[in-house]
């Protein structure tokens, strides 16, 4: 087989790249190890920055997001049993959209398959070769048969545990593991607030979020080695009530749990994000703690840069944009790393934290709640920094 761009991974990053390339007349083949049903049902992030939502519209896949997504003009911080709302729209003129990652995948799949895009599901044993040549290859097994795909460029959008990053020779890795994790639940219940709530409580962090007007997503800070079996539904709800409670009588809506699991928290950056004709995007190159809602948005930002660079390569034979891919992408990556770290350390209770550290965190929250400059900084980072360039080369 022969194509221009081979893409490993049919998550939001890989599928968005395939869509943006197609709009520029560039061919691609997407290789995915799971079946279509799995990736369409896999529950992941749900907060879209202003620029991410706009990118989906520009890519021609924003109609269902605009119909079903929930637009938020702010968020709420809670500490010391008090509420403080950060007004995104007033501070930045931008907002966010809550729309599940699996819905984005459905929209992108429908667009690509509807246009005759080549997406191979249930692909196993992917191996890369010739990355230092002008004809790199992807070897893989599908339906029990060996296949070989020749490309001009290979893009690894196959996540943290994918194979692509292993083909970087001697990369530099920056990593931090946090001394806590998130116990997350999905529950069938209407949201108790029309916007996300981030709460710091002496017992730990809690987050109230939503996926639809009838499904809520909630998180509790727990130990990294927490035994999920020790958390009954009743215990989870009791702890959520405790950590989200306020002096003005906030009421948390309960409902039957649809899912629960524990997610460790880490920061991870791998550089360079490219080698020869291989380019990494999204979780294959970087991971952020979920507190700042940056994971999927960073992946989409990588793809904007890469789609623009590939457009220049195929339209005019330019190689400078591809050569600068790592440097360009990492500017945004490190800004998001810092913001996610800042939100995480401010809102979580470190198990080794003494009273001094606790008071510092509360002082930081008080400052955010009382300073318009700090509010604006949080709002600017949360809703997403403006893009310096469009994805389209023309």
Q: Is 374 exposed, middle or buried (0-12, 13-18, 19+ CB in 10 A)?
A: middle
The values of phi and psi at residue 92, to 5°, are -130, -15
What sections of the chain are H helices per DSSP? Answer: 12-23, 36-41, 50-58, 63-68, 88-92, 101-114, 233-244, 295-316, 320-323, 325-347, 355-370, 372-383
Query: What's the confidence (pLDDT) of residue 173?
Result: 98
Cβ distance 130 to 136 under 8 Å?
Answer: yes
Residue 135 C-alpha from the chain's centroid = 31
The values of phi and psi at residue 188, to 5°, are -85, 95
Cβ distance 266 to 178 under 8 Å?
Answer: yes
Place of tokens 């009382």: 370
Q: Degrees (nearest 5) of the Cα angle 135, 158, 385?
A: 105
**Residue range 262-288, pLDDT digits in tens:** 999 999 999 999 999 999 999 999 999
Residue 391 has pLDDT above 90, yes or no: no
State the fold for domain 5-73+92-175+266-349: FAD/NAD(P)-binding domain (3.50.50)
Question: The pTM is what?
Answer: 0.96
Point out which residues pair with 269 in neighbouring strands: 174, 286
User: What are the residue numbers of the active site?
Assistant: 72, 198, 290, 294, 382
**Residue range 372-381, pLDDT digits in tens:** 999 999 999 9
**Residue range 298-332, pLDDT digits in tens:** 999 999 999 999 999 999 999 999 999 999 999 99
Q: Is 200 exposed, middle or buried (0-12, 13-18, 19+ CB in 10 A)?
A: buried
- Parse the chain into domains and list their residue ranges: 5-73+92-175+266-349
């Amino acid at each position: 087989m022969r194509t221009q761009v081979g893409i490993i991974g049919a998550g939001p990053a890989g599928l968005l790249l395939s869509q943006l390339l197609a709009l520029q007349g560039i061919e691609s083949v997407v290789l995915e190890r799971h079946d279509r049903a799995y990736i369409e049902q896999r529950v992941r992030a749900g907060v879209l920055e202003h620029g991410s939502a706009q990118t989906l519209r520009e890519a021609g896949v924003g109609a269902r997001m605009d119909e079903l997504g929930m637009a938020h003009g702010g968020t709420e911080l809670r500490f010391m049993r008090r509420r403080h709302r950060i007004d995104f729209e007033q501070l930045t003129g931008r907002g966010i959209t809550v729309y599940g990652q699996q819905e984005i995948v459905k929209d992108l799949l429908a667009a690509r398959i509807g246009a005759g895009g080549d997406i191979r599901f249930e692909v196993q044993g992917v191996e890369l070769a010739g990355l230092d040549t002008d004809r790199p290859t992807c070897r893989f097994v599908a339906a029990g048969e060996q296949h070989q795909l020749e490309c001009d460029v290979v893009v690894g959008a196959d996540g943290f545990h994918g194979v692509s990053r292993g083909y970087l020779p001697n990369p530099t890795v920056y990593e931090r593991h946090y001394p806590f994790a998130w116990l997350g639940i999905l529950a069938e219940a209407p949201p108790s607030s029309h916007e996300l709530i981030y709460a710091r409580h002496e017992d730990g962090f809690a987050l109230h979020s939503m996926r639809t007007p009838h499904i809520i997503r909630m998180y509790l800070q727990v130990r990294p080695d927490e035994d999920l079996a020790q958390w009954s539904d009743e215990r989870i709800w009791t702890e959520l009530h405790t950590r989200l409670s306020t002096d003005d009588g906030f009421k948390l809506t309960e409902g039957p749990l649809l899912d629960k699991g524990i997610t460790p928290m880490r920061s991870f950056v791998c550089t360079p994000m490219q080698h020869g004709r291989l380019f990494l995007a999204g979780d294959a190159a970087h991971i952020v703690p979920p507190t700042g809602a940056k994971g999927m948005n960073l992946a989409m930002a990588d793809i904007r840069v890469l789609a623009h660079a590939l457009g220049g390569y195929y339209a005019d034979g330019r190689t400078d944009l591809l050569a600068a891919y790592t440097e360009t992408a990492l500017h945004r990556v490190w800004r998001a790393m810092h913001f996610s770290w800042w939100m995480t350390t401010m809102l979580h209770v470190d198990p080794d934290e003494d009273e001094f550290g606790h008071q510092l965190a509360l002082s930081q929250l008080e400052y955010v709640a009382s300073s318009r400059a700090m509010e604006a900084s949080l709002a600017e980072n949360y809703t997403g920094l403006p893009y310096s360039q469009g994805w389209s080369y023309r």
